[in-house]
């Protein structure tokens, strides 16, 4: 019995000696530090990236082909618009694709319909393109692209045919801008 107590007493002493030793303290500190680092770096993976500065939503309006060319991302505000099958989308959040230097910059400020339909990144007509000569397969492909744009980007208006008059959106604009203001205030 006495021997047992002595033995465990020695072990306890040894234990306290170890945890008081500088090497032990250093090791524990290192482990704690590493665990902290790992947890912190994991946390960073889930952290929200800083939001890209957002342009105010463009007022709903229609564009001629010529007016559209202003919005290729080279002007001051850097806004990029793309027309797909007669609808103009604000693709500014996809600027890395359609903006200057992007892989699809030929679509920026242009009617991308034919290019998307025929998988030709360089095709962008100077003249209004009625797409009437596209094959059924190309039309299907364009339809798929169109639904992707609808999902991803805001509609700004329509691409005008030559001589077509722009729609007056002022009535709609009133209601949509007041809802936008409400959600921003909330
Ligand atoms: C070698 C051929 C190609 C490769 C490897 C390629 C690769 C890609 C990749 C990886 C993305 C997705 C990027 C992302 O979401 O971060 C993308 C998007 C896209 N690609 Fe391509 N692509 C090719 C050809 C084409 C062609 C020929 C067209 C023309 C029709 C095209 C039009 C697009 C468009 C419009 C987007 C969507 C950008 C957006 O989100 O708005 N690509 N491509
Ligand atoms: C393009 O839009 C017109 C309506 O403006 C529609 O009738 C046609 O099916 C669309 N084409 C494609 C390929 O989406
Ligand atoms: C558009 O309509 C509004 C009223 O609905 C009117 O006040 C405005 O002058 C119109 N603008 C044009 C360009 O016709």
Whether ligand 1 lies within 6 angstroms of the CB of 104 is answered as yes
**Ligand 2 mean position to 86 CA, how many Å?**
8
Per-residue model confidence (pLDDT) at position 49: 57
CATH no., domain 65-162: 3.10.120.10
Q: Which ligand is nearest to the CA of 159?
A: 2
Per-residue model confidence (pLDDT) at position 13: 74
**Ligand 3 mean position to 168 CA, how many Å?**
6
Per-residue model confidence (pLDDT) at position 182: 44
Per-residue model confidence (pLDDT) at position 8: 67
Whether ligand 3 lies within 6 angstroms of the CB of 167 is answered as no
**Ligand 3 mean position to 167 CA, how many Å?**
10
Helix (H, G, I), strand (E, B) or coil at 42: helix
Record the pTM.
Answer: 0.72
**Ligand 2 mean position to 14 CA, how many Å?**
84
Per-residue model confidence (pLDDT) at position 54: 81
- pLDDT (tens place) for every residue of the chain, 186 residues total: 556 666 666 667 766 776 778 888 888 889 888 888 877 877 665 556 555 668 899 999 999 999 999 999 999 999 999 999 999 999 999 999 999 999 999 999 999 999 999 999 986 778 999 999 999 999 999 999 999 999 999 999 999 999 999 999 986 655 444 444 444 444
Per-residue model confidence (pLDDT) at position 183: 45
Per-residue model confidence (pLDDT) at position 98: 97
Per-residue model confidence (pLDDT) at position 52: 62
Q: Which ligand is nearest to the CA of 146?
A: 2
CA distance 36 to 15: 26
Per-residue model confidence (pLDDT) at position 38: 75
| 30-to-17, 25, 27, 33, 37 alpha-carbon distances in Å | 19, 9, 5, 5, 10
| 168-to-60, 65, 158, 171, 174 alpha-carbon distances in Å | 9, 18, 11, 8, 12
Which atom of ligand 3 has the smallest separation from the CA of 171?
Answer: 5
CA distance 45 to 37: 13
Q: Which long-range contacts (CB under 8 A, 24 or more apart) does 180-183 make?
A: 180/57
Q: Which ligand is nearest to the CA of 103?
A: 1
Q: Whose CA is nearest to atom 3 of ligand 3?
A: 170
Helix (H, G, I), strand (E, B) or coil at 165: coil
């Amino acid at each position: 019995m006495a021997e047992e107590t002595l033995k465990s007493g020695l072990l306890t002493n040894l234990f306290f000696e170890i945890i008081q030793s500088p090497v032990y303290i250093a090791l524990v500190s290192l482990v704690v530090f590493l665990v902290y680092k790992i947890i912190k770096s994991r946390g960073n993976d889930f952290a929200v990236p800083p939001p890209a500065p957002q342009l105010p939503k463009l007022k709903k309006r229609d564009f001629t082909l010529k007016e559209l060319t202003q919005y290729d991302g080279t002007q001051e505000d850097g806004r990029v618009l793309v027309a797909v099958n007669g609808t103009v989308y604000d693709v500014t959040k996809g600027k890395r694709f359609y903006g200057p230097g992007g892989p699809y910059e030929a679509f920026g400020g242009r009617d991308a319909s034919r290019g998307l339909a025929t998988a030709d990144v360089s095709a962008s007509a100077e003249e209004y393109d009625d797409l009437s000569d596209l094959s059924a397969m190309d039309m299907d492909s364009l339809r798929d692209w169109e639904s992707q744009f609808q999902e991803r980007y805001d509609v700004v208006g329509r691409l005008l045919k030559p001589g077509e008059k722009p729609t007056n959106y002022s009535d709609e604009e009133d209601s949509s801008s007041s809802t936008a203001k409400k959600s921003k205030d909330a």
